[in-house]
Structure 1
Amino acid sequence: MLWRYKHTLPRMRGFLICYTRGSRIGAKSRTLWTLADAAKDSHLYGIPRRITLTAGGGLAKLYGLILSDTKVHNRERLLSLVKSRPPGTPLVTVSNHVSTLDDPLMWGIRGLPLADSKLCRWALAAEDICFTNAFFSYFFRLGKCIPVTRGAGIYQPHMAEALERLNDGDWLNTFPEGKISQEGGPLRRLKWGTGSLIARAKVSPIVLPIGHSGFEKMIPEQWWRGKRPPIPLWNKKVDIFIGEPMQFDIPTLKQDAFKWARTSAGVSSSDCGSSNADDRNRPSFGSTGFGPHPLPFGARRSSAFLQTAETLDTMRTDGIHAPLLDGPLLDEAAWRWMYTDITEHIWVALSDVTEKARTLNQSRA
């Protein structure tokens, strides 16, 4: 009995420090030993998750169907993919980001099962906003949120958790802009995180772009004295436009990335001294071109890749199967080529649905 209390009291003390003081150090330690369990459906028999999802879903329905004038265009596309997509096929929804409560307010759609722990979406959430203390961390983990640390890169530990959810065939919602933008201009440069998850998933996810307009009026960043309102404002017009689903041919993309990396490595071996050789034909994010997107690489990487390519040629000549589409045969630059290509396609599709949502919203203003 004493041994049990010996290991329990430090945990209770860490929880109390985190809960009462809201310290960042306490929140992170809490994340390590508790929140992984809270994210599971089996946590306390799933009762806290069902309560949290029901409360969040009720709030979304309240604002989406009663307190605001919300129009959802092509609603059936989302409902059919959430409820009856092929078994084992993950769903990734991508959306523009205009307020801190885009998720969950954008899911206040009639017919969408937000209280179903199996069908409800997983979401990537900023650690510095949603996981600042023990209470918030526990609440958002129950609400199927995955913490993401801004600036920590696409291979941070919790991105591996997001990849596991896709490999389980679940629904994941992301805001690839990475931060809120209420200026109303073109979409910002998209982060690579969403593209990297799509490229590395075991089964190519169905990607559904969703554009919305009007949430920036419900949660304005500069409402009173430069602060947001304490609760969402009501009696606002909101338009949600659901675009066409798309699915990337990952094996073909891997083959294209392999060919590009082999070609670029050959060019680099003959002209690796030119500092501008990699950037001459590189389009910026937000362009509509889908050609190769070269990335900087060094002579060491190029030499290693040429050696791999020569080995594969020898294996092919000898009649030995060469698994060109396996991930390990792609170096980091080739993988990033894939991330960039996928991200460019998402940017174009998301820009289109966002502009349509804005136009529809302005016509009703």
Structure 2
Amino acid sequence: MAVGAFAKVMTTLLNSTHVHNADTLIRLVRSRPPGVPLLTVSNHMSTLDDPLMWGFKDFPSMDAKLARWVLAAEDICFKNRILSYLFRLGKCIPVTRGGGIYQEHMNEALDVLSGGGWLHTFPEGKVNQEDAPVRRLKWGTASLIVRAPVTPIVLPIVHSGFEKVMPERAFYGRRPPLPLCMKDIKIIIGEPMNLDLWSLRQTASTMSYKENLNNLGWPITYPDGLNEAAQRWLFVSISDRIRTAMERLRSFEIKITLGSRKTE
């Protein structure tokens, strides 16, 4: 509740925030079908994207039961016992960079989806404050979609402005000691993606794999029996679809920004 209140103050009072299609996210958080998980994905502009992006008007940011679970970098958010305790209270799941998609904590994220929960990921894998296209996505998010017993509702989100609230190199090449205020924030929420996993799995299972791949020892998936090469194709295909959806939202956000400037 305290973090949610902080997000409300920063996002709605101390900064100017405009949200497109907020009703879709609020509806899916509050009243999606029982047992159906929600997986939101977004670009990563600052270390405060989460929780600030959930602080906009009318969003239930102070309801702990409705709050998202989120993947968080172990080397940043779980440096010591105190931080680990606080971030765990905040429903954060540690992930080890370079630990692979089958690391232990990814199974914890999978448990959230298996229970019909809401999980948020930053599939770019790290903060990127450049005004540039969405980077190539890591495969972890796609692997969770494939492995989940009930296919999650995948909702893409793109935002801008948080890089101004918490710039990486504002004060002597470092982040400011406190978040900055009076910035313009835009949050563009898309529509649920239509991922035909059955067809994608069928395509992956029938493709020929004669390439020399660096085998990582991934287990064969059950029950479709996909080997590592087939899984790689599947994860790349899903990741590319998510990235394309996010890039469309980013282009839409640019049009909105240019339109508002012309109006001014």
Is TM > 0.5 for Structure 1 vs Structure 2?
yes
Tell which deviates more after alignment, 183-192 or 157-166: 183-192
Paired residues of 1:212 and 1:358 also in contact (CA < 8 A): no
Indicate whether 1:163 and 2:86 are aligned.
no
Residue 205 of structure 2, aligned match among 244, 258, 278: 258
Q: Give the structure 2 partner of residue 99 of structure 1.
A: 46
Which of 118, 123, 147 is matched with 1:176 structurally?
Answer: 123
Residue 296 (structure 1) aligns with:
213
Q: Establish whether residue 345 from structure 1 lines up as the match of residue 241 from structure 2.
A: yes
Amino acid aligned to 2:5:
G
Shift of 1:215: 0.7
Separation in structure 1 between the aligned mates of residue 257 and residue 157 of structure 2, nearest angstrom: 14
Q: Which amino acid is 2:167 matched to?
A: P
Contact 2:72 2:94 in 1 (8 A): yes
| Paired residues of 1:123 and 1:144 also in contact (CA < 8 A) | yes
Any idea what SS the aligned residue of 2:159 has?
strand
One-letter amino acid matched to 1:179: K
Taking CA–CA contacts closer than 8 Å with sequence separation of 6 or more, which of the two structures ends up with the larger relative contact order? 2
1:364 & 1:108 partners in 2: Cα distance? Answer: 23
4+ aligned runs moved over 6 Å, structure 1: none
- Structure 1 residue 362: deviation in Å? 5.2
1:120 paired residue number = 67
Q: What residue in structure 2 maps to residue 286 of structure 1?
A: none
Structure 1 residues without counterparts, runs of 5 or longer: 1-53, 269-277, 279-294, 306-324
| Equivalent AA in structure 1 for residue 3 of structure 2 | G
The TM-score, its normalising length taken from structure 1, stands at 0.67
Give identity over the alignment, percent. 54
Q: Deviations over 1:100-155 (max 9, x none)?
A: 00000111122222232321100000011111111110000000000011111111
Matches within 5 A, 1:1-365: 54-260=1-207, 264-265=208-209, 268=210, 278=211, 296=213, 326-327=222-223, 329-361=225-257, 363-364=259-260
Check conservation: 2:8, 2:61, Cα contact below 8 A: no
3-state DSSP of counterpart to 2:199: helix
Q: Which amino acid aligns with 1:95?
A: S
Larger radius of gyration: 1
Rounded to whole Å, the distance in 1 between the matches of 2:222 and 2:113 is 19
1:116 is paired with a residue whose SS is coil
- Counting matched residue pairs gives 258
- Secondary structure at the residue paired with 1:203? coil
Shift of 1:251: 2.4
Counterpart secondary structure, 2:137: coil
- Which runs of 5 or more structure 2 residues have no equivalent in the other structure? none
What RMSD in Å do the two structures reach over aligned CA positions?
2.0
| Other structure's SS at 2:8 match | helix
Aligned equivalents of 1:361 and 1:55: distance in 2? 32
Structure 1 residues 31-84: Cα deviation after superposition (integer angstroms, max 9, x where no partner): xxxxxxxxxxxxxxxxxxxxxxx0110011001110010000111110111111
Q: Could you tell me how far apart the structure 2 residues matched to 1:224 and 1:199 are?
A: 42
> Aligned-pair distance for 1:296?
3.1
TM-score where L is the length of structure 2:
0.92
Q: How far apart, CA to CA, are the structure 1 residues paired with 2:224 and 2:243?
A: 27
SS at match of 1:327: coil
Deviation at 1:297, TM superposition (A): 7.2
CA distance in 2, matches of 1:297, 1:231: 44
Give the helix-richer structure, 1 or 2.
1
SS at match of 1:123: strand
Letter in 2 for 1:332: E
What secondary structure is seen at the aligned counterpart in 2 of 1:329? coil
